[in-house]
Amino acid sequence: MAERAPGWPVEVLEALSVWPLKGRGTVVFDASYFLDNLQALLAEGRGPALLVGGASSLGLPSAIAAAELHRTLGGVKSPKLAELFMRARSHEFDACAIPDGPFTYEMLLEVSDGVASGLIDLTRASLSGPRRCCKIQAGPFGFMHAPRTWAHGAVLQNLEPAGEAELAGCRPGDVVLAANGVATLDAPLPEAAAALQSASQLLLEVVQPILEGPLYLHQASTAVVRELAGRDAEVAALGVIPRLSHLLDERRSLAGAADSEVGLSELRSRPTVFAGDGGSASRLHVDIVPRVQFCHVLHGMKLFAVESDAAAARPIKGRSPEVAFPVDLPLPNEEGGDFLAGPGVSVAACRADDVLCFWGGDRHCGANAMAEGPCIALFHDHEWPGRS
């Protein structure tokens, strides 16, 4: 495991080298047991549940999507996510007929519907390019905006053709450094949004980010899977929720239980895609609306941390406004090493074909391991009225 997460605590990696889960939680190898005992496995304080090889053992079509991704990406010599999206339009992943990197966010938005459908964490993108001032004379301004990181800043998206923002010189993917003199680069989302909406005119200082560091695309559509592995892989990804819902309905029927007794309501209709280079990581957070979360790993390896016992968890003393645990950077003890290694935090090592379940009301985060190519996973959730 050391080569997968060289920046993580040695004790965590040693534990994961012999068993795919450190701390509280359950590793399951029997699909029927998993379905029959899911609520008990995810009871408060129990930690996450990892079904090893779950896609295949449950007969989920995500196993097909995983196989297709392995077929298309397994032999790629330079498997950085930005480059893969640039190559994906021609479906020639080994071809050289693409611009030399690094690439800008705008370039990816131009070639990929999958990238445009989601959000990109630009924490480790370079903002060293030329800064521009764009004066938008009147509303409507003709743009939408997304977070620059997981919870801070603003990035321009969906510019209206020939709209006020485009005419003023704004470009898709621009990071907003300031709006009418108000700094927005590291502003919390409500403050950044207010700065972009509170005046009849806007003077924006912007820069186009250069995607040099590990890329993390999140909350994207299954177009990502289609672009990287073909239409059949996307169809398989879209079939995961109906198939799992059918399996749970069968179990409910066999048990003779009413919906209220089972407690797990209907699944969402479509999964979202999270795709990241090794070294990219999500922030430690609690879901705004807590639900039972399902993670289906399709490619690569994801390390997932869940705070299963908040009282026993060690404090984090770092000053970062968004706590994350990238695997490729040194992780000082006071900035998260002790937290990951402590008794209150469970860490699961999830590989392609595995299914991980956890309660979104517990603090959690994911880190994409250093592997052959990016980590690509499907996420979806259940409402669970029995927990809050």
Across residues 122-142, what is the average pLDDT? 93
Sort 204 into a burial class: Cβ within 10 Å, 0-12 / 13-18 / 19+: buried
What confidence tier does 260 reach under pLDDT thresholds 50, 70, 90? Answer: very low
* pLDDT, tens digit (0-9, with 9 covering 90-100), for 318-375: 666 789 999 999 887 777 899 999 999 999 999 999 999 999 999 999 999 998 789 9
Mean pLDDT value across the chain: 90
For residue 296, the Cα-to-chain-centroid distance in whole angstroms is: 12
> H or E stretch including 259?
helix 259-262
What confidence tier does 386 reach under pLDDT thresholds 50, 70, 90? Answer: low
What is the pLDDT, as a whole number, of residue 263? 43
What is the pLDDT, as a whole number, of residue 259? 46
What is the pLDDT, as a whole number, of residue 71? 93
* Weakest-pLDDT range from 19-33, 40-54, 92-106: 92-106
What is the pLDDT, as a whole number, of residue 382? 85
* pLDDT, tens digit (0-9, with 9 covering 90-100), for 294-308: 999 999 999 999 999
What is the pLDDT, as a whole number, of residue 250? 86
Bigger pLDDT: 49 vs 78: 49
State the Cα–Cα distance between residues 168 and 136, nearest whole angstrom.
Answer: 6
For residue 77, the Cα-to-chain-centroid distance in whole angstroms is: 24
Instruction: Identify any residues that bridge with 178 across adjacent strands, giving them in sequence order.
Output: 183, 205
Across residues 235-243, what is the average pLDDT? 95
Across residues 95-107, what is the average pLDDT? 75
* Stated pTM of the model: 0.93
What is the pLDDT, as a whole number, of residue 99? 65
Which residues lie closer than 8 Å to 366 by C-beta, 6 or more apart? 274, 281, 282, 295, 302, 303, 304, 305
pLDDT of 79 over the 80 cut: no
State the Cα–Cα distance between residues 365 and 277, nearest whole angstrom.
Answer: 15
Indicate the pairing of strand 301-307 with strand 292-299. unpaired
